[in-house]
Amino acid sequence: MRKIFDPQMSFGQTPIDHIKIDMRSRDEIPKLLLGLQHIYCNLELRQEVFKVLETMVPQKTNAKTGRPGMDLWKILVAGTIRINCNWDYDKLREIINNHKTIRQMLGHGMMDDDMTYPLQTVKDNISLLTPEILDKINTLVVEEGHKVLLKKNTKI
């Protein structure tokens, strides 16, 4: 069973649009999280991205039955971070199990500290994010970036 994301918030979970991201950091992670936050908060863009992500679920898989996999949102967040930071699956697993802000972006609350991702789960799910799917999502994000820049330039 694969969901896009779980709309039911758990106790202690921070809504994605309320996650505080350290803008003073010079690391790449806050910038990635800011972009992911924008995708999530922009309903039209989020729906387009999720349409692309739904194509990565194997054809023979029944989305309504079976064991639960990672939500599509979690795959997007973890996969984007893995690719942009050039990490292997071991490093990604360590970070998504322990980095507070990334865990918030994945949808975990303060009561979910004991919920961790096994290495095989990370490999099986993140590997679904193929270069073709990432190219389609990248195109959508670049188009959105152009819209945002156009709005800013017309206000000046």
Count structural domains, the chain.
1
Does residue 51 fall inside a structural domain? yes
100 within 8 A of 27, measured Cβ to Cβ = no
Does residue 136 fall inside a structural domain? yes
What letter would DSSP give residue 112?
A: G
Does residue 97 fall inside a structural domain? yes
Does residue 90 fall inside a structural domain? yes
pLDDT of residue 44: 95
The parent domain of residue 97 ranges over 16-155
Does residue 100 fall inside a structural domain? yes
In 3-130, which residue ranges form alpha helices assigned H by DSSP? 28-41, 43-54, 72-85, 89-98, 100-106, 119-126
d(CA 85, CA 39): 19
Does residue 8 fall inside a structural domain? no
pLDDT (tens place) for every residue of the chain, 156 residues total: 456 666 666 777 888 999 999 999 999 999 999 999 999 999 999 999 999 999 887 776 665 665 566 889 999 999 999 999 999 999 999 999 999 999 999 998 888 888 899 999 999 999 999 999 999 999 999 999 888 888 777 765
Pick the closest to residue 127 from 75, 59, 49, 84 (CA basis). Answer: 75
Does residue 5 fall inside a structural domain? no
pLDDT of residue 62: 63
Q: Which of 36-59 are b and which e, b meaning 16 or more Cβ less than 10 Å from the residue's Cβ?
A: bbbbbeeeebbebbbebbeebeee
Does residue 10 fall inside a structural domain? no
pLDDT of residue 35: 94
pLDDT of residue 116: 92
